[in-house]
Every structure is written in structure tokens, then in C-alpha cells.
Amino acid sequence: MSALIVSDIDGTLIDSRERIPSAVKESLAAAQRAGVSFVVATGRPARWIHPIIDQLYTPPTLCVCANGAVIYDPACDSITHRRELAPDAMRTVVRVAREALSDLGGCGVGVERAGVSAHDMPGELFMVTPDFVHSWESIEHSTVELDRVLARSAVKLLLRNDALTSEQMHRLVAPVVPADVAHVTYSMPDGLLEVMQPGVNKSSALDVVAQDLGVDPADAIAFGDMLNDLEMIRWAGTGVAMGNACDQLQRAADVVAPTNDEAGIAVVLREWLQG
């Protein structure tokens, strides 16, 4: 069966305990035995992939990381594709973002860079400014001044304001970032914007993946829950928003699944595979 299943990770593939429900693991394994390819597509960096995919009965063929800026092959632990923001573009985004948020506390800045594998030294890949308030406990980063953060190209620029929601930040920042400079999105609600090269999103990487696998996007099903999944679920022949997904994604989806805590992927896949 020449088909493709694509799933986001957080809020989609994993439940609230960061576990993949047994029903989801079983449905994905059954699909893979039938010849269907499975790919994860996430905002996470490659170094955060293995704690999730190691829970699966059969690993994914490929992993789209950093919202489409990176393609990672877990079988050989190799970054096979990357698209980076240049330092000048990042400086422009930081300048206009801080201006847009100047009355609301500005924003801390971070970058994600892609090494050659998922096991490179994280402090070399994840750098933040001193005013960057982490959304999660992290020891896998370096804290340096802004000039050093932006000194080299990166696959993802992060803008953080913990007093705002990501939606509020996006409403203020996205309109002032020129479309030919960068693409702005978010994957979590708590005041964190993710910025990539223009044209980079999960669907742009999935174009590469689908071509390599010989799969037509019409024969793909994609699952997601946040704004950074929007292009992906529009790209797939069947776009699925989880029951816990943001309103914008649910409106754009072909199907709304049960929530990630209800093994929503398994429920939809059972019917899709029979069709």
C-alpha cells in the first residue's frame, strides 16, 4: 500500500504524560506491516526525538524536525536535510519583534541549530539570551549575549515572552515580519514563537519526504494540534486535527479526531486504513 501517515508529537502522538498510547502504537505498527510509511513531523529538535520514537513498536521511516527545517533519519542517526535562517534575517526579526513587544516586556531570544546527528552536544545547538525564560526545565543550553546567539545561521529562531500567550505574540509579531525574511508560527500556547526560513514549514519538508518515498500527498493522512501543523494538514489528502487542537486547526481539518489522551490517532486510522 503506497501511502503515508504523518503525525505531530506533542498534543498528538503522545498523551499528557508524554507516552504513546498502546492503541496508537498498535495501529501504527499494523499500518507499517501493511506497507504504509510512517513519519513524525514536529517542532522538536532531533535530539528530543528518540525518547518518543523509542516507545514505538516500529520506528518511523524519517523524522521532520524544527517545523520542517530539518529532516532526520533515525536509522543512521543523521541529519539529511536542513534549511537555515541567515544571521541578517534573524537580526531583522529580533529587531521588529522587540519593537512590536516593547510595551509588553519585549522578548528573550534563542536559536536552535542542527548538527550532524541527534546526539551532538546540546550546548552548541541551543543558545539563548540571559532574558530568555524557559518554558521547560533545561540544562541543554548555553546562555550567551545576543550577538553570539545570532552569530551563525540557525534552523529555528525562538522569541519568548512568558507574560503573553503564543497567539497574542503571533498577532503582534507575525504582521511586522516581512514574508521574504522569515516564517513565524508556534507549537505551544505559552508565549513562544518559532521562526524559520521563508517557505519552511512541515509541508515543505514533507514534499521532500513524499518524493523520496514515492507517495502522492493525496494518499497521505496527517495528524496535528497546533498552528505549526496547519500547512501539513492542508498538504495531506486527509488532514486530521486532534480533539484538543486549537480552533484554527479544527476549522481547517477534514476530520476532527478524539483527543491525544483518548488515542485519537488510533480511532481515525482504523477507519482510514479500511477505506
pLDDT digits (tens, 9 = 90+) for 127-154: 999 999 987 766 678 999 999 999 999 9
Q: What is the per-residue DSSP string for 8-23?
A: -IIIIIS-TTS---HH
Mean pLDDT confidence for 66-81 = 98
Q: Which domains, and CATH codes, for the chain?
A: 4-82+200-274 (3.40.50.1000), 87-196 (3.30.1240.10)
The per-residue pLDDT for 119 is 87
Beta bridge partners of 154: 85
Assess contact for 93 and 157: CB atoms under 8 A: yes
- Side chain identity at residue 32, one-letter code: Q
Q: For 76, list phi and psi in degrees, rounded to 5.
A: -115, 10
Where b means 16+ CB within 10 Å and e means fewer, 139-164 reads eebeeeebeebbeebbbbbbbbbeeb
Mean pLDDT score across all residues of the chain: 96
Assess contact for 95 and 101: CB atoms under 8 A: no
The per-residue pLDDT for 122 is 74
pLDDT digits (tens, 9 = 90+) for 6-65: 999 999 999 999 999 999 999 999 999 999 999 999 999 999 999 999 999 999 999 999
Least confident of 73-77, 135-139, 143-147, 220-224: 135-139
The per-residue pLDDT for 1 is 57
> Structure pTM?
0.95
Q: Which three cell numbers, joined as nine digits, stand for 63?
A: 523524522
pLDDT digits (tens, 9 = 90+) for 92-119: 999 999 999 999 999 999 999 999 999 8
What are the angstrom distances between the C-alpha of 226 and each of 7, 96, 109, 245? 12, 24, 21, 6
The per-residue pLDDT for 2 is 85
- Side chain identity at residue 251, one-letter code: R
Give the single-character DSSP code of 214: T
Percent of the chain at pLDDT > 90 equals 92
Q: What angle do CA 130, 50, 211 make, to 5 degrees?
A: 105
The overall longest dimension of the chain from CA atoms, in Å, is: 55
Chain centroid to Cα 224, Å, comes to 10
The per-residue pLDDT for 44 is 96
Q: What is the per-residue DSSP string for 143-174?
A: E--HHHHTSS-BSEEEEE-TTS-HHHHHHHHG
pLDDT digits (tens, 9 = 90+) for 12-28: 999 999 999 999 999 99
pLDDT digits (tens, 9 = 90+) for 191-216: 999 999 999 999 999 999 999 999 99
Q: What angle do CA 270, 43, 11 make, to 5 degrees?
A: 45
Mean pLDDT confidence for 172-197 = 97
- Give the count of alpha carbons within 13 A of 203, CB side only: 21
In 3D, which of 254, 252, 235 has the Cα closest to residue 4? 235
The per-residue pLDDT for 134 is 82
Give the other-Cβ count within 10 Å of 7's Cβ: 26
Give the other-Cβ count within 10 Å of 124's Cβ: 10
Mean pLDDT confidence for 229-254 = 98
Q: What is the per-residue DSSP string for 44-112?
A: S-GGGTHHHHTTSSS--SEEEEGGGTEEEETTTTEEEEE--B-HHHHHHHHHHHHHHTGGGT--EEEEE
Give the single-character DSSP code of 229: G
